Amino acid sequence: MSQTYSLVNPYNNEPIGEYQYTSWDQVEQKLALLKTGHKTQRDSSAFERANVLARLAELLKEHSEDLAQLITRETGKTISDSRVEMMRAVNATIACSEEARQITGEALDSDAYASMGKKIGIVCWRPLGTIFCITPFNFPINIAIHKIGPAYAAGNSVLFKPGPQNTATARRLVELCHEAGIPENVLQFCMPEMKELDRLNAHPDIHAINFTGGTAAANAIAAAAGYKKLLLELGGNDPLIVMDDADLEGAVKAAINQRFATAGQRCTAAKRLFVHEKVYDAFRDLLVEKSSELVVGDPAKDETFIGPLIHQGAADQVRGFIEDAIERGATVAMGNQYEGAFVYPTILENVDPECELMVEEAFGPVMPLFKFDDVDAIIPIINNTAYGLQGGIFTNNLALIRRLFEELDVGTLAANDGPGFRTEHFPFGGVKESGVGREGIKYAIREMSFTKTLVL
């Protein structure tokens, strides 16, 4: 008999539902079914898969409001943020549909380096098999689409495990995928107990694992997976640099939207702000002014900008980061207030570059400000973290942008935008403990494929 788990709304603790974990016997049945899906996928065409994904995009658009409401209820994300997520999910699905038609190989002459009999090598991309897709709580539809869509477009079968908090959202997404035309033997939902995950990650019928989440979980996946292909999108401690020639209003807007939205629970959030001393006071004052206008409260209301964190434990962890920074000499420019799972938007000054808030990933609405007078001084501070996902800089100095692009340990540097910039067809991923491989629809399709060569 499978165990059960209960979920509550993070905002008001109202019960959402009680669900059953997927038993190990059920997991093995699903994997056996997905194995039959390999032939189903081989017998389908890129044209057919593209059309299925186009239908899925229409269904997501048609049901976007219901799904947004469900996301808000399950995660505490504001309804406006959930609606933006649904818009992005639709766009990502359209991109999957278009990229499904563009999977191309190449032809190579064999005599490029020596006479090899005038052969031609025809290089094709082929699916890996069954992809185990694991998603976090913060973007339950969009991140799922960024995994399921490319995996399906490449011709794979998919075993999909969301974060437990997203059970109802994920089930509804799978229903819509099946309604669009993805066969049941090509996509299956599962929610095994935590104790079964190592066994599942090691299962011989799993051929690749695509995971978004924390480093500790990724380490466990890697230890269990052996030689499986891994695509890991992990955390970030992303810097936003504001130079003395910056558009301050644009920089403040980016800082607020990319740190305080989703209650700061984004891997690409602007988690550390480095502000040039010549504009520091003006930037801080404008940042505090604009941030103090943000509405904190019921995430179901249109005017709310910041809702609760996913649960009380998450709020307690962020509070610990803030208290550590204050103990090390930081001063509070704004915030440092708490109420249940709510952490009110907090801005800190005089932050020790060695404190947890500057070195670790803080998943909540807290913004440390660091004043500097020389870029050379902040490059080692920015790079002094286990993470290297994205970065942002506000300046008109192209030479500086190009220099930082080379010297910062990040996968993406956004000029005159924050580190939270992402669009569906750009490569997405980092260095160091921010992950392995690249998402972004075209790039994810390649990650979930292998090359196969025919010599003629």
Q: How far apart are CA 281 and CA 327, in angstroms?
A: 23
Strand ranges of the sheet holding 238-242, from the earlier edge strand across to the other edge: 331-334, 346-349, 366-372, 270-276, 238-242, 390-394, 412-415
Q: Helix, strand, or coil here: 21?
A: coil
- In this predicted structure, the answer to whether residue 171 has a pLDDT above a threshold of 70 is yes
Q: In what order do the strands lie in the sheet with 106-109?
A: 106-109, 120-127, 449-455
Fold match between domain 4-234+434-455 and domain 238-423: no
Segment (H or E) for 221: helix 215-225
With bands split at pLDDT 50, 70 and 90, how would you rate the model's confidence at 205? very high
Whether 356 contacts 330, CB under 8 Å: no
367 pLDDT above the threshold of 90: yes
Q: Beta 435-436 vs 229-233: how paired, if at all?
A: antiparallel
| pLDDT tens-digit series, residues 51-90 | 999 999 999 999 999 999 999 999 999 999 999 999 999 9
Average pLDDT score over residue span 204-224: 96
Q: Report the pLDDT value the prediction gives residue 301, as an integer from 0 to 100.
A: 98
- Under the banding of pLDDT at 50, 70 and 90, the label for residue 1 is low
- For residue 149, give the nearest of 69, 231, 56 by alpha carbon: 56
Q: Which residues are annotated as a binding site for NAD(+)?
A: 135-137, 214, 361
Extents of the domains making up the chain? 4-234+434-455, 238-423
Tell me: pLDDT of 166 over 90.
yes
Measured distance CA(213)–CA(137) in Å, rounded: 9
Residue tagged active-site, from 267, 349, 424, 439:
267
Query: What's the chain's average pLDDT?
Result: 97
Cα-based torsion angle of the residue sequence 190, 193, 199, 203 in order, rounded to the nearest 10 degrees:
0
User: For the chain, what percent of residues have pLDDT higher than 90?
Assistant: 98
96 is an active site residue: no
What digits encode the pLDDT tens for the residues 307-327?
Answer: 999 999 999 999 999 999 999
Report how far apart the first and last C-alpha atoms of the chain are (Å, whole number).
Answer: 55
**Tens-place pLDDT, residues 423-437:** 999 999 999 999 999
For position 117, what pLDDT does the model report? Answer: 82
Q: How confident is residue 160, by pLDDT bands cut at 50, 70 and 90?
A: very high
Burial of 43 (0-12, 13-18, 19+ CB in 10 A): exposed
Q: List, as one string, the DSSP characters of 42-75.
A: HHS-HHHHHHHHHHHHHHHHHTHHHHHHHHHHHH
Question: Which pLDDT score is estimated for 116?
Answer: 79
Average pLDDT for residues 345-365, to the nearest whole number? Answer: 95
Length of the chain, please? Answer: 456
As a whole number of angstroms, the distance between CA 312 and CA 331 comes to 24
The CATH architecture one would assign to domain 4-234+434-455 is 3-Layer(aba) Sandwich (3.40)
CATH, domain 238-423, list 3.40.309.10, 3.40.640.10, 3.40.50.1220, 3.40.50.1360: 3.40.309.10
Is-contact 317 333, C-beta < 8 A?
Answer: no
Active site residue 124: no
Residues annotated within the binding site are 135-137, 214, 361
pLDDT tops 80 at residue 2: no
Residue 112: its pLDDT value, please?
Answer: 87
Distance of CA 233 to the CA centre of its chain: 6
Mean of pLDDT values over 328-352: 97
* Catalytic site residue from 74, 85, 99, 233: 233
Cα 21 from Cα 38, distance rounded (Å): 26
Confidence of residue 115 (pLDDT cuts 50, 70, 90): confident
